[in-house]
Amino acid sequence: MPRKYNIDQIILRLLADHDLSRQDIAEKIRETLNRPVSDKSINEALMKLLEDRRIQVVDYDLSVYNDVKRIQSIKSDGIVFSLVKKDPFEIFMLFKRIDSEDVVGAERAYKKLKALFKAKMVVAGIKDYTLFDRMIHEIFLLDPKNKEKIIRRLSWALSNEKGSLDEFKDLVNYFKVRDHY
C-alpha cells in the first residue's frame, strides 16, 4: 500500500516562495522527504491542486530539452506551476511586476493576471476574451495617479474578497464604455 506524504501540502509550501517547474517540484519533494516518491504520486497531487484551483500553469521551461534542436514531444517536466493568488495585495504586486524591467517576471505576472481575469470572467458570465488585453493597454496609458487608482480597484476586483465580483463587473462596464469613445 502506498504511503501518503501530504505531497500537495509540500507543493503549496514550495510554490509559496516562487514558481517552479514540475521537474523542480519533484526534486524538491524527494529532497524534503528524503525518500523516493513516484512521479505518479507527484502528478496526482499536482492535478488535485489544479482541479481545486489552488495552483495554475504559468509557463513552460524549455531547458528540460537540454539543447535538443528537433523537439518531437512535450515533457511534463517543463510545465511551470504557480500558486493561484487571490489576495488584493498579491494581485496588486503582479500589476507592479508587469511594469518592471524584469522581462521574464513581467511576462509571468501578465499570464497570472490574465488567468485570474479569465476565471473572474467565467464567474461573472462575461465572454469578451479580448477585454483583458484592452484593459491592460488602457491602464498603462493612464497618467500615474489614475493608473494607481484603477490598479488598486482591479486588484480588489480580481480577489476573492466579499463584493469583488460587483467591483469587477463595474470596472468591466467602465472599460467597455471607454472603448466606445
Q: How far apart are CA 60 and CA 45, in angstroms?
A: 19
Cell of 166: 460587483
Lowest mean pLDDT among 3-12, 51-60, 149-158: 3-12
User: Strands across the sheet with 20-21, in order?
Assistant: 20-21, 79-83, 55-60
pLDDT in tens, 171-180: 998 888 876 6
Q: Is 60 exceeded by the pLDDT of residue 8?
A: yes
- Closest listed residue to residue 175, CA positions, set 139, 123, 127: 139
Q: Does the CA dihedral 13-14-16-20 come out positive or negative?
A: negative
Higher pLDDT, 77 or 124: 77
Its pTM stands at: 0.63
How confident is the model at residue 2, as a pLDDT?
A: 47
pLDDT in tens, 109-123: 998 898 889 888 877
The per-residue pLDDT of the chain, averaged, comes to 87
Q: Is 60 exceeded by the pLDDT of residue 84?
A: yes
Average pLDDT over residues 131-146: 87
Do residues 69 and 135 make contact, with C-beta atoms less than 8 angstroms apart? no
pLDDT in tens, 61-81: 888 898 888 888 899 999 999
Q: How far apart are CA 27 and CA 177, in angstroms?
A: 50
Average pLDDT over residues 55-66: 89
Average pLDDT over residues 83-104: 88
- 37 by DSSP, 3-state: which? coil
Q: How far apart are CA 95 and CA 155, in angstroms?
A: 8
Q: How far apart are CA 166 and CA 171, in angstroms?
A: 9
pLDDT in tens, 15-44: 887 889 999 999 999 999 999 999 999 999
Residues in the chain, overall count: 181
